[in-house]
């Protein structure tokens, strides 16, 4: 009998030693009077759609990949929440009540603090922060940090896991803000020559931008890294004096130097190529480089679809055509401009960057008025903004040929050129063939170099 008892005890010990730690989250939530059929919980590497019953309630078990911050997406609204593996969370909210959501469970206090922190952040105008001179900006950041620390102390939260996650998130969001400061300060103050000090540039030196685990677990880390890598790649692009330089290839080469193939690299590159894939001489090289990172079938299919749309828009292919209303009366078609180069600006009255290019566009037009080129601006404003378009063309004394597309983003010319963002500039040769489906902007010195060679 004694031997049997010892054996049973040994089995019990083995069972304790091999039992897996509970990582699930018992999740209960009620979102009353929202009318929403479901909510979505999203994280850095997580997405779960949960159906709400007629009372706006859901009870489920969440198999989250890691402890950290997530977002509840309810319609157009997002609410940050903190989820900790093995700990339950209950949320009660009534859309008709002015009261804040009620959190219950082992991490209730943590979620109250996370929500209040998010609300405080929402009251800060980042443009005002970025407009400050460097020393004032840093003083404001330090004051904000001091306030957050005092509020955290006052909360009485002792959960070391939460405090570690919160501290990491603070490091990531601060680094992101620092990354954004130089470019936004230059933009807001209209000081294109602005350069941050060397000491400012070194503020993020201690932040690891190639931590694949953090990239998988933290949305704040993803945002910080994505922005940092794109900024660094852009700076390298601007410093590269070769004529055949390509921003997307420089970005891919930079990613390769930091990350092995895997989740982080695939997500960054796939997202970047949604807009960074361009119908230029590097299209085939970029597409081949993407396939080498071994993307998932789903992502490869999406990028391949975009690639197929763009490869018919490379240099030498016949340009898609247009025939739209001319601000001066009648209609103008691309065929009417045959025999001349045509520089096309796709824009809209609501597009800030488009408006920002107008002075440069006017100057380029002026400098080439006696050459074999026509300048065409195609507005993709909604029909409801037709008079706004006519008024802006007149008030800003826009030159060239001013046209308005017939169906805004769904206009044939826009969809045929696979345009997903504006401003977009296109150059067509005298025979109606594409010179560049994504030509340099008027403010880019490369445009003048291109035109000088052609006309």
Residues 362 and 437 in one domain: yes
27 φ/ψ angles, rounded to the nearest 5 degrees: -115, 125
Determine the 3-state secondary structure of 441 from DSSP: coil
CATH value at residue 75: 2.60.40
Whether residue 14 is contained in a domain is answered as no
**Does 18 fall in a domain?**
no
CATH number of the domain encompassing residue 416:
3.40.30.10
Q: What residues form DSSP beta bridges with 68?
A: 83
Q: Are residues 115 and 131 in the same domain?
A: no
380 with 450, same domain?
yes
Locate 270 and state its tokens: 């796939």
Last residue of a domain, one of 99, 122, 145: 122
In a domain, 204, yes or no: no
CA 211 vs. chain centroid, Å, equals: 20
Residue 53 lies in a domain: yes
The answer as to whether 395 is a domain residue is yes
Residues 417 and 439 in one domain: yes
Could you give the 3-state DSSP secondary structure of residue 250? Answer: helix
Two tokens, residue 440: 């340099």
Separation of alpha carbons 29 and 51, rounded Å:
11
Q: Are residues 70 and 190 in the same domain?
A: no
* Among 287, 311, 335, residue at a domain's last position: 311
Number of domains in the chain: 4
Q: What CA–CA distance (Å, rounded) separates 370 from 255?
A: 45
Residue 226's CB is within 10 A of a number of other CB atoms, namely 19
User: Are both 276 and 232 inside the same structural domain?
Assistant: yes
Q: Say what the pLDDT of residue 162 is.
A: 98
Residues 405, 447, 342, 391, Cα dihedral to 10°:
40
Indicate whether 62 and 85 sit together in one domain.
yes
Classify residue 387: in a domain, yes or no: yes
Considering the domain architecture, whether residues 437 and 338 belong to the same structural domain is answered as yes
pLDDT digits (tens, 9 = 90+) for 190-229: 898 899 999 998 999 889 999 999 999 999 999 999 999 9
The residues of the chain scoring below 70 in pLDDT are 1-21
Residue written as tokens 């992502």?
299
324 three-state secondary structure: strand
Q: How many CA atoms lie within 13 A of 360 on its CB side?
A: 16
Within a domain: residue 202?
A: no
What is the structure's pLDDT at 6? Answer: 36
220 and 182 both lie in a single domain: no
Q: What is the pLDDT of residue 10?
A: 34
Among candidate residues 289, 311, 333, the one where a domain is terminated:
311
Q: Which two tokens stand for residue 287?
A: 């597409």
pLDDT of residue 239: 86
Going 284 to 288 to 289 to 295, the CA torsion angle's sign is positive
375 and 349 in one domain?
Answer: yes
368 is in which domain, residue-wise? 323-454
Residue 52 lies inside a defined structural domain of this protein = yes
The answer to whether residues 115 and 143 belong to one domain is no
Whether residues 133 and 157 share a domain: the answer is yes
């Amino acid at each position: 009998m004694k031997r049997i008892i010892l054996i049973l005890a040994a089995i019990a010990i083995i069972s304790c030693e091999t039992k897996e730690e509970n990582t699930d989250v018992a999740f209960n939530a009620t979102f009353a009077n929202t009318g929403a059929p479901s909510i979505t919980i999203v994280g850095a590497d997580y997405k779960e759609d949960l159906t709400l019953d007629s009372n706006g309630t859901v009870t489920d078990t969440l198999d989250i990949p890691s402890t950290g911050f997530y977002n509840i997406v309810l319609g157009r609204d997002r609410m940050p929440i903190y989820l900790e593996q093995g700990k339950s969370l209950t949320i009660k909210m009534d859309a008709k009540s002015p009261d804040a959501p009620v959190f219950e469970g082992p991490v209730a206090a943590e979620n109250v603090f996370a929500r209040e922190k998010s609300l405080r952040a929402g009251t800060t105008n980042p443009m005002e922060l970025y407009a400050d001179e460097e020393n004032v900006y840093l003083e404001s950041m330090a004051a904000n940090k001091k306030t957050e620390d005092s509020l955290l102390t006052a909360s009485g939260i002792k959960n070391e896991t939460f405090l570690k996650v919160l501290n990491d998130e603070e490091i990531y969001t601060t680094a992101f803000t620092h990354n954004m400061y130089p470019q936004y300060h230059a933009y807001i103050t209209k000081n294109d020559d602005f350069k941050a000090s060397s000491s400012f540039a070194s503020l993020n030196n201690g932040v690891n931008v190639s931590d694949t685990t953090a990239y998988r677990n933290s949305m704040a880390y993803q945002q910080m890294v994505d922005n940092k890598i794109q900024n660094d790649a852009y700076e390298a692009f601007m410093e590269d004096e070769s004529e055949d330089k390509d921003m997307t290839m420089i970005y891919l080469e930079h990613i390769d130097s930091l990350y092995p193939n895997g989740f982080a690299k695939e997500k960054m590159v796939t997202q970047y190529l949604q807009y960074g894939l361009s119908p230029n001489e590097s299209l085939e090289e970029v597409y081949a480089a993407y396939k080498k990172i071994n993307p998932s079938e789903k992502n490869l299919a999406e990028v391949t679809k975009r690639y197929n749309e763009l490869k018919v828009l490379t240099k030498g292919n016949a340009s898609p055509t247009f025939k739209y209303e001319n601000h001066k009366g009648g209609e103008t078609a691309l065929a009417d401009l045959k025999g001349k180069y045509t520089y096309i600006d796709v824009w809209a009255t609501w597009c800030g960057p488009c408006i920002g290019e107008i002075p440069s566009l006017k100057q380029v037009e002026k400098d080439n008025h006696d050459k074999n080129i026509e300048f065409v601006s195609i507005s993709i404003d909604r029909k409801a903004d037709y008079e706004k378009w006519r008024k802006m063309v007149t008030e800003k004394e826009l030159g060239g040929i001013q046209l308005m597309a017939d169906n805004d983003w769904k206009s044939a010319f826009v969809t045929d050129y696979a345009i997903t963002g504006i401003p977009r500039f296109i150059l067509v040769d005298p025979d109606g063939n594409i010179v560049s489906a994504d030509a340099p902007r008027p403010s880019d010195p490369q445009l003048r170099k291109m035109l000088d060679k052609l006309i």
